[in-house]
Structure 1
Amino acid sequence: MDRKSAHSALIADDDEFFRLAMTAILSRHFGFKEIVETGSLDAALDQLAQRANGISLALFDLAMPGMEGPGSLSAVRDCFPWVTVAVVSGSSERRKILAALEVGVHGYVPKGLGSSELTRAIGMILEGQIYVPPSLAILDGPARTSASERRAGFEGGDMPRAGRTVELTPRQRDVLSLLVEGKSNKEIARQLQLGEGTVKVHIAALLRGLGVQNRAAAAVVGARLLAG
């Protein structure tokens, strides 16, 4: 991404002090004119849906309300492919790092990094590299040869995600339940107190996760899933 053409960035984290720190880094070092702050996944999806192409970078914490692990970011990558998406997390678990890379994020940045290293990591991501902690190669014994780990050192492009199933979050289950009832996006949004754009993102994630192409098929599969 050309830093001179950067528009807005999104920080989705329920830690207000961390959001303030990241806002300072993004505006001071990378020239973002507007930093959108949210404290939950639903609020982040709503902002992304409302602002269309305005947001070029989105940073997500994995422990905030609505987030069910790295799989929750699949919908973000699918519905907003132009957005550079990265995880900034308090966890450095190898399993979570690899799961995040599997769904196509552009980097996994531990919160425990110092300010200068955190700035360097964000800079690498904005330059098109996929940042992972240096410790990834030595955690849990010898380095493995999985696709995720091989990909972790490459630059640019998206992670291969074919065949990966999205785990349904509680919110997605709520949306699916209303979809099965035949509710429209507007009705679902009103009942769940969400923006219509956010509902569209959740439905896109459901279609992908259920492996279907349209709402009707999702309703059939969803009815069986919810009944089980």
Structure 2
Amino acid sequence: MNTSRVALIADDDEFFRIALGFILKSKLRFTEILESGSLDEAIERLSEREDISLALFDLAMPGMQSAASLAAVRDIHPDLKVVVVSASSRRSDILSALTAGINGYVPKGLGASELAEALGAILNGTIYVPPSIAGRPSSSEEAGVSQVIRGTQDERGHRTIEFLTPRQREVLLLLVQGFSNKEIARKLKLGEGTVKIHMAALFRSLRVRNRQEAAAAGARLLPMTESQQ
């Protein structure tokens, strides 16, 4: 019987990854820890390994520009426990992450025992949120959360592209040019599963329902020089 437990830590702070990996192994009995320093790298790791049961994401790492990416990970990997471990204690960050459907939001400021307890509760099915979330948000925080929930577009719909990761932008460009997922994967040297996650994140960020709508939005939003390459 295979009793291995695999976790992914996505954080650009190498020392924090080491410390968190030690906690996962020593207190929660994980047998293998995978690491990545950016959102794009984390998505590629998830597509390569089907045995990852827990994925921990930092909100401030490269590529993490909106909660839509976390929601896409949840859509493609519904059985995966997705957790934000962040130094941010802003209520707007916590609520926007929870809106994406994550399994918990754990502050980095917790001690080792508290952190292990919070992650253990998440693994047992609890949706963990910091005690600070219990209070009522201010009007400015509510407005910030509402903007995240509605999407990242401004009134004219032109800000969305700024919130895509570099890899998502590459995928969108190739989609606009008419390439299939398999062709995009081959051109970018990615797995098809990785492309699928990026595509799901694009649908959420662009607020579209299918490839045709995404391609139309990309053709409108991408700079002319890019979309005609």
Question: Does 2:107 match 1:110?
Answer: yes
CA shift at 1:178, angstroms?
Answer: 1.4
TM-score with structure 2 length normalisation? 0.79
CA RMSD of aligned residues (A): 2.8
Question: Does 2:188 match 1:188?
Answer: no
- Percent identity of equivalent pairs: 58
Q: Output the CA distance in 2 between the equivalents of 1:118 and 1:139.
A: 24
Q: Which residue of 1 aligns with 2:82?
A: 85
CA shift at 1:190, angstroms?
Answer: 4.8
CA shift at 1:122, angstroms?
Answer: 0.7
Q: Is the 8 A contact 1:63 1:69 kept in 2?
A: no
For 2:117, which of 116, 120, 124 is the aligned residue?
120
For 1:46, which of 25, 44, 50 is the aligned residue?
44
CA shift at 1:75, angstroms?
Answer: 1.0
For 1:198, which of 191, 194, 197 is the aligned residue?
194
Question: Does 2:174 match 1:178?
Answer: yes
Q: Which residue of 2 aligns with 1:37?
A: 35
Q: Is the 8 A contact 2:40 2:165 kept in 1?
A: no
Q: Is the 8 A contact 2:9 2:36 kept in 1?
A: yes
CA shift at 1:204, angstroms?
Answer: 2.1
CA shift at 1:17, angstroms?
Answer: 0.9
Q: Which moved more, 1:98-107 or 1:196-205?
A: 196-205
Q: Which residue of 1 aligns with 2:227?
A: none
Which stretches in structure 2 are left out of the alignment for 5+ residues? 153-159, 225-229
CA shift at 1:120, angstroms?
Answer: 1.1
Q: Which moved more, 1:110-119 or 1:172-181?
A: 172-181
Q: Which residue of 2 aligns with 1:132?
A: 129
Structure 1 residues 185 and 61, CA, compared in 2 at 3 Å: closer, same or farther? same
Q: Output the CA distance in 2 between the equivalents of 1:215 and 1:135.
A: 40
Number of equivalences: 208
The DSSP-based 3-state class of the residue aligned with 1:82 is coil
Q: Is the 8 A contact 1:12 1:39 kept in 2?
A: yes
Q: 4+ residue stretches of structure 1 with deviation over 6 A? A: none
Q: Output the CA distance in 2 between the equivalents of 1:200 and 1:176.
A: 12
Cα displacement string for residues 177-220 of structure 1 (whole angstroms, at most 9, x for unaligned residues): 21001123344345445443322211122234445444233222
Q: Which residue of 2 aligns with 1:23?
A: 21
Q: Is the 8 A contact 2:64 2:165 kept in 1?
A: no
CA shift at 1:24, angstroms?
Answer: 1.0
- Code of the residue aligned with 2:184 in structure 1: it is I
Q: Output the CA distance in 2 between the equivalents of 1:5 and 1:130.
A: 24
Q: Output the CA distance in 2 between the equivalents of 1:70 and 1:224.
A: 23
Question: Does 2:164 match 1:169?
Answer: yes
- Code of the residue aligned with 2:21 in structure 1: it is T
TM-score with structure 1 length normalisation? 0.79
